[in-house]
Structure 1
Amino acid sequence: MERIKVLRNHLNGKEDASRAAMTSSGGSPLTTHVLDTSTGTPAVDLPITLYVRDGAGRKDDDGGAWKRLAAGNTNSDGKLPDMLTQDQFLPAIYKLHFNTAAYFAQSNTKGFFPYVEVVFEIVDPYQHYHVPLLLSPFGYTTYRGS
């Protein structure tokens, strides 16, 4: 119900109310969940770093430096809760860096991809964004979840 209220406020031009509602509802506006499809279990203790691109609002910008916003490791459910606050979440281009080499090293597994980077653009920071990663030693899949 909170999301509906936030969206309604946003559509009606009441962004301050939307921001307050998202902040008061708790949790990060951006979440991720990593599942190891080779074992059928959550990927526990996988290091993740979140970056934002400086100057991301300029469509003609070919580059831009990446600024580190947050970092942590996935919990026993393969999630990294409270990655960032609503106040930190602005329209921009973001990157999630998953350190898959460190994760697979825990089980003496040699993977093909030492890391996975997922780059995405946020236009409306009042929505919730979920970026799951399905991972195996030789492949991965991601999508915008709910």
Structure 2
Amino acid sequence: MTTLSTHVLDAALGVPAAGLAVVLSREGLELERATTDDDGRVAFTTRPPGGECALTFATGAWFAAAGRTAFHPQVDVALAVDPDEEHLHVALLLSPFAYTTYRGS
């Protein structure tokens, strides 16, 4: 069964996005709620089931807590999880008005 992690970077400031709330869900059901560590990372303890899952990043609240405005109140990343894979890593690069996500290693 697959393990899952994420890493979030504030591309505008060039620093990790520490303290950002992230929810792992499947079919609208919350599987795990976490917060990025000082390095902007989360290693989920819940192993996502195979099929479609999602990560929801609370970007609006995170930017607001820092006194910054943001265009995207949240970022939803849909994932196709192959249960035969050992690990899945999702990277997210943020700025107040854009984001990029990709599958990392």
TM-score, normalisation: structure 2: 0.92
Instruction: Give aligned-pair identity as a percent.
Output: 40
Counterpart of 2:63 in structure 1 is 104
1:141 to 97, 100, 104: 100
Of Structure 1 and Structure 2, which has the larger fraction of its residues in helix?
1
Higher relative contact order (CA 8 A, sep 6+): 2
Runs (5+) with no aligned partner, structure 1? 1-18, 23-28, 54-65
From the CA coordinates, give the structure whose radius of gyration is larger.
1
Counterpart of 1:12 in structure 2 is none
Deviation at 1:120, TM superposition (A): 1.2
Deviation at 1:126, TM superposition (A): 3.3
Of Structure 1 and Structure 2, which has the larger fraction of its residues in strand?
2
State the alpha-carbon separation in 1 of the partners of residues 84 and 4 from structure 2.
Answer: 9
**3-state DSSP of counterpart to 1:132:** strand
1:1-146 counterparts in 2 under 5 A?
29-53=3-27, 66-81=28-43, 83-85=44-46, 88-146=47-105
Deviation at 1:102, TM superposition (A): 1.2
Q: Deviations over 1:101-146 (max 9, x none)?
A: 1110121100000000000111234321000100000000001111
State the alpha-carbon separation in 1 of the partners of residues 39 and 82 from structure 2.
Answer: 29
State the alpha-carbon separation in 2 of the partners of residues 125 and 32 from structure 1.
Answer: 19
Deviation at 1:89, TM superposition (A): 2.8
Consecutive aligned runs of 4 or more in structure 1 exceeding 3 Å deviation? none
- Verify the 8 A CA contact 1:95 1:117 in the aligned structure 2: yes
Instruction: Quote the RMSD (CA, aligned, Å).
Output: 1.5
Runs (5+) with no aligned partner, structure 2? none
